[in-house]
Amino acid sequence: MRELADALSIDRFRIVGVSAGGPYALALAHRLAPRVIAAAVCSSLSPLAAPHRPPGMRRRIRLPLALLAHAPKLCEAVGELALPTIRRHPRLLPRVIAAHAAPEERGLLDTADERAAASTSFLTATGHGVGGMISDDVVYSRPWGFDPGEAGTEIHLWHGARDPLVPLEHALQLAVTLPRSQLFVAADAGHHFFRRRLRQILAALVGRWPDAAGESLAISRSRVAA
């Protein structure tokens, strides 16, 4: 990222990381501050609990994630066997995603555009197999190699209170760890709420609060000083 910013002659910038991209945004805020002006992490994991261990996670989600963390090679083998079926029947993917979504999000995920986006992104990510995705999960389950509490950049934490995949506990843990953070909680939203709130997230990141607040769905905002 440093080399890319140098090549584009970008001295300072803001970043957004969503879900599994959250840890990478936090890493950049740690390693490239003060060049990173601010960062937003949405539905992000924290390093304080493995993906399968946070309080509040449903058993039917916890068990597969625990298996993934402890037997990645087995999960990769099973995933490779399943890929041909998924490629022949891509409509299966949106159904699986919707089954693990908050009720508020299921209607959105059932639109034609969202179904196409979900299928395309998954099939692109697994074009060379499922190994890369599984390796990512293993990385998140281990120490990250840096302390988020040492980040000197302003961090915006966005999370859905009803997120079944990455429970709100992750955001709360980050909020009390980061020295400069603001926590935004969408009360009835789940893991995919950023798709409806991206304009709001970006507006807050650049300090345009009136625009950021001009949405119909309520956001609970709190400033946290660790």
pLDDT in tens, 184-216: 998 888 888 887 788 889 999 988 764 444 443
pLDDT in tens, 143-167: 888 888 888 889 999 999 988 888 8
Say whether 186 sits in a helix, a strand or coil: strand
Q: Do residues 75 and 67 lie in contact, with contact meaning Cβ atoms separated by under 8 Å? A: yes
Domains of the chain: 2-47+147-224 (3.40.50.1820), 59-140 (no CATH)
The reported pTM is 0.81
Q: Do residues 18 and 43 lie in contact, with contact meaning Cβ atoms separated by under 8 Å? A: yes
The two structure tokens encoding residue 144: 């990250």
Rounded distance between C-alpha atoms, residue 68 and residue 74, angstroms: 8
